[in-house]
Amino acid sequence: MDNLIRILRSFGEGEEDKTFTDSFVDLLKNRVMTNVERMYEVGLKFQNNRVIFPPPWDSIYAGLKEIGFFKRFIPVDYGGSGASEESIYFIMELLGYTCPSLGIIFVAHGRAVDVILAGRDEALKDKLLRRLGDGDFGAIAMTEERAGTDVSAVEFSATRKGDYYVFNGEKIFISNAGLAGVYTILVNTKGKKGARSLSVFAVEDEIDGFRVDLLPEKDGLKILPTGKIIYENCLIPRENLIGDEGKGLLLALDAIDRGRILLAGIACGIACRILDEIFEYSRKRIQFDHPLTSSQDISFKMADMYTQINAARGLCFHALKQVHSPYYRSASSQAKLFATQMVMSVAQVGLMIMGGRGYFRNNIISMLSGDARGMEYLEGTSSIQKMIISRELFKSYT
């Protein structure tokens, strides 16, 4: 991890960020890395609409609150510390290195914060953002069985009834389902298909008619809660509407653009961990009276891995510089596309270098490879990223 920290800090870090990072790294080394394999092995349980994490979680969660981790995502005006985009990226790459599931939990959390910040009701924003800054989790819910790639096909209905909206519908593949205290939800308020029928609401979890179902166990990202959220005749106050009715899709997509860069950072972190583990293995593994690191074939493979990781990170930092520019959407998709393809390639080569040991279930490279496979499906598959990139590219020509 020390090599990764030096690389990240070479991009620049303020003194305040450095103080936080030192505390954060200490927590990762002493509470996360020592327990992550055990947590993955035990997995998640579910009871009364809530996810239950393995025992080390309580210590990790307490440590995150102690160092003010949740407040990093919240602006100063709402009780947070307002960390920069670059600082949040550092956090995500370090989480990718130590526990990718935890990284994705906080990508979803941060995206919920972004959506809420776009709201106009200051009382609602203050209430929800302070709750999230104090240690509750957020989630963003867009996907449905028939509305994945085609987001405009959302059928989840929100019917106006006086000062309330009546929610009926299901969302699936939701990160932080059963963990979040606040859900930001894309719904259909017009009763017909189309982008102009979609609105966003911020909804707390403790309401009648709301329930959560966890999805079957995944091949990777074992402690990332992923499930289905269901609303049956739930009354949601009108003031929980974020922005204007019928203009929710752009709000949600803007939040997802930011999330893609952070997911790319997590992918870079996973790849760095694989490279470190492979180096340690190759240094100790003797073949023909020499360590594997002395083999030109193995050393060249590791050189390729290292170059690919740095290329992906370069795209991430390029995208971070494009925030608020017309090129941001394309840049974030390029970073996510390249980084998730890169981490799969690095994982595959890592497994090959490990030989038969890489095939064992409890091997760290095998575990990280399962995590790497899952990265492509979050915030849009590679095909979706290519669609966005090509569309933005063609716009630039016209």
Q: How many CB atoms are closer than 10 A to CB 300? A: 10
Spell 336-350 as b/e; 16+ CB within 10 A means b: bbbbbbbbbebbebb
* Cα(100)–Cα(266) distance, integer angstroms: 6
d(CA 282, CA 353): 8
Burial class from Cβ neighbours inside 10 Å (0-12, 13-18, 19+) for residue 303 reads exposed
144: enclosing H helix or E strand? none
> Of 303, 296, 300, 386, whose CA–CA distance to 341 is shortest?
386
Structure tokens at 10: 């070479």
Q: Are 143 and 108 in contact (CB under 8 A)?
A: no
Buried/exposed code over 316-331 (b: 16+ C-beta within 10 A; e: otherwise)? bbebbebeeeeebbbb
Tokens of 55: 């025992």
Q: What is the dihedral of CA 334, 340, 341, 344, to 10 degrees?
A: 170
Catalytic member of 144, 277, 379, 392: 379
Contacts of 277-283 spanning 24+ positions with Cβ under 8 A: 277/350, 277/364, 277/365, 277/368, 278/302, 278/305, 278/350, 278/353, 278/354, 278/365, 281/353, 281/354, 281/357, 282/353
Contact 287, 345 (CB under 8 A): no
Q: Look at phi and psi of residue 70 and say left if phi exceeds 0, alpha if psi is from -120 to 50, else beta.
A: alpha
Is 38:99 a contact under the CB 8 Å cutoff?
no
37 a catalytic residue? no
Inter-CA distances, 38 with 34, 232, 367, Å: 8, 37, 11
The residues annotated as belonging to the active site are: 379
